[in-house]
Structure 1
Amino acid sequence: MSVTLIWLPLIEEIIKLKFKPGEKLYLAIDRTQWSDKNLFMIAVITEKRAIPIYWQFLDKKGASNLAEQQALIRPALKLLKSYELVILGDREFHSVELAKWLLTKKVYFVLRQKKNTYLKEKGKIYQKLDSLKIVSGVKSFLTGVKVRKEKGFSQGSIGIYWKRQYRENKEEQPWYLLTNFPNLQEAIKAYKKRVGIEAMFKDCKTGGYNERRFQSFHRKSDSIGLINRYCLYILILKRSIN
């Protein structure tokens, strides 16, 4: 209740100040372990960081399911209906059911796929993504494909990107990206922004934003504690950008 009543009106005003109606907003969904709590969040990417929009504490350990993902995304879609939205998700959010649902909401999406996901190109048999011959530094965009055998999805494309390997910077696996963007460049540009939510989590857990007075909060005030913390985070982020 606190997130809905207190945070959403606040973040709506912040976004109005920073973004113009109709502007493209990149929203990352992610889950992290926050002390003993399973924190599930959607955040808007800005300046290589992220600002939380809505979050929930999952009453379980491990990955989220489709119903929980929809429940997280809905408030953000309602709040930001004046903008062009792009949903970004890592391999936890690879399901074609989520992609189908996002299509009905008329938003863009880039969802990273697991390497053992099955793909069927026109005129070919199903094969796993990691069976495709991909080398470092190569990009590919597969259109008119069907993803997943048992729950086939043919309303998107698969973008494949494996960053060129350098001694200091090695990407262990290619990105397999399920997207409804019309080209690979937009899909890669969008997915690269997803790291902003990871940077935000790291800042809040280990950076200067991890104030002692916010390090411990009881279950009844979990959301209030996070609201306090994120208000502080936004203030410090704004100062550092300016």
Structure 2
Amino acid sequence: MVKKDRSSYVNKTYLMIMLPKFYQTHLKSQLTLAEYLLLKILITLLQSIKKVSLETLATAVPIPIIFESRRRKIQRFLLLPNLTIEKIWFPIVTTWLEMNFTSDKIIYLVIDRTNWACVNLFMVSVVWDKRAFPIYFTLLPKLGSSNIDEQKAILSKVLPTFNNYKICVLGDREFCSVKLANWLRDSNVYFCLRLKKNHFVEMQADVWLELNDLGLAPGISFFVKGVKVTKIKGFVSFNVACKWKRKILGVAPEEGWFILTTLETLELAIAAYKQRFDIEEMFRDFKSGGYNLEDTNVSGERLISLILLIAIAYTSATIQGQKIKRKGVQKYVGRVKEYGRTQRRHSSFYIGLYGQTWVNFMEECKDLVIILIKLSRNKRQYYQRGLRAMELILATS
């Protein structure tokens, strides 16, 4: 007589679908059932294979039709009239803001650009969990920097979403236009925009100095309040926060920061501007550090739709990672921060993404794992803790 294995993990299904409930609710309202199911399949593939090449996605889509039909199916899906930022993404962003921010808290909005090959992508994101939550993205019709008209047009589409919140726009030297600063002030928006060191400020009446001549050096910081920037007439006064990090082990940054701002103190301005670099981490996650966006072979509207899918996948993974951390089981997914280490080793995005990978591979290898556990009965208590961790991770989906 064969003795049945009654262990709880034998009959359990280990499969994690990573889409927050409020995402699912809105997506179902905008897409047909067939479209919604295909979107879920594509999101699952993105989280699993971490590649967005059309050929790679078509190869992996588990729909029983010939390869070329699968490829065309994805192409048609990326051109769906409802698969737009305005219809799909902005309502999700609005709900996410309501869940994570209050009207009295400043939200930091980062504007930046990334490019590869012939693609020039403009992105607006919210600083979030040491990363950035993508809000709006568009392709610029040219290579190189954006201009003031493009910047204002893009921000005009985004700002209404934040009508009930205080926001501070962060931008690097591409966005150092005093015209943009004036426009943001008129829109009742705080800002921290990094100036080029050859800008002029009016230190006294009709006495103009180049920022580079203000005496900023490694280890020095100061705050210049209420000065006119550039010699063009008609602009009101701004504050300029100046900081150059001190030398550490004899090495200092090549140059300091000159931050054009409406914030009232040096500390507030510098702390705000430091958060601009979180969008660089997000770009890395979108590209070689995560979904390999630069390897895609689609363009135009299809590329924007594909980036929208990445935004859904990326933010879903981050939300999932935050839940896993709150459950206290992140050590089962990745290495934890060692004592004395100032930077966390893995982001919430990483924990969410690879938490799903770990749990879902259990489903594929369950029979082998069961045998392996039986062969190491002295380690059974540790395996049981790990299985409990898997259950907790599954419960977050």
TM-score range, shorter chain: over 0.9
In structure 2, what is the Cα distance between the partners aligned to 1:78 and 1:4? 12
In structure 1, what is the Cα distance between the partners aligned to 2:232 and 2:103? 40
Whether the aligned pair in 1 keeps the contact of 2:284 and 2:290 (CA below 8 Å) is no
Cα RMSD for the two superposed structures: 2.0
Residues 1:64 and 2:155 aligned together: no
- TM-score, structure 1 as length reference: 0.92
Within-5 A mapping of 1:1-242: 2-123=84-205, 125-151=207-233, 153-167=235-249, 170-210=252-292, 215-241=296-322, 242=325
Q: Deviations over 1:100-153 (max 9, x none)?
A: 100111010011000100111024621211112112111110113111012463
Once the two structures are aligned, what percentage of the paired residues are identical? 37
- TM-score, structure 2 as length reference: 0.58
Larger of the two Rg values belongs to structure: 2
Greater helix fraction, Structure 1 or Structure 2: 2
Counterpart code for 1:29 = I
Counterpart code for 2:301 = K
Counterpart code for 2:306 = G
SS at match of 2:226: coil
Counterpart code for 1:225 = L
Counterpart code for 1:55 = F
In structure 2, what is the Cα distance between the partners aligned to 1:121 and 1:8? 43
In structure 2, what is the Cα distance between the partners aligned to 1:79 and 1:151? 33
In structure 2, what is the Cα distance between the partners aligned to 1:223 and 1:82? 27
Counterpart code for 1:21 = S
1:22 to partner: Cα distance: 3.1
Greater strand fraction, Structure 1 or Structure 2: 1
1:75 to partner: Cα distance: 2.1
In structure 1, what is the Cα distance between the partners aligned to 2:97 and 2:283? 20
In structure 2, what is the Cα distance between the partners aligned to 1:200 and 1:78? 23
In structure 2, what is the Cα distance between the partners aligned to 1:115 and 1:83? 32
SS at match of 1:194: helix
1:94 to partner: Cα distance: 0.5
In structure 1, what is the Cα distance between the partners aligned to 2:290 and 2:225? 45
1:218 to partner: Cα distance: 3.4
Whether the aligned pair in 2 keeps the contact of 1:209 and 1:232 (CA below 8 Å) is no
Tell me the matched-pair count.
241
In structure 1, what is the Cα distance between the partners aligned to 2:250 and 2:258? 23
1:34 to partner: Cα distance: 4.1
Please list every run of 5 or more consecutive structure 1 residues that lacks an aligned counterpart in the other structure: none
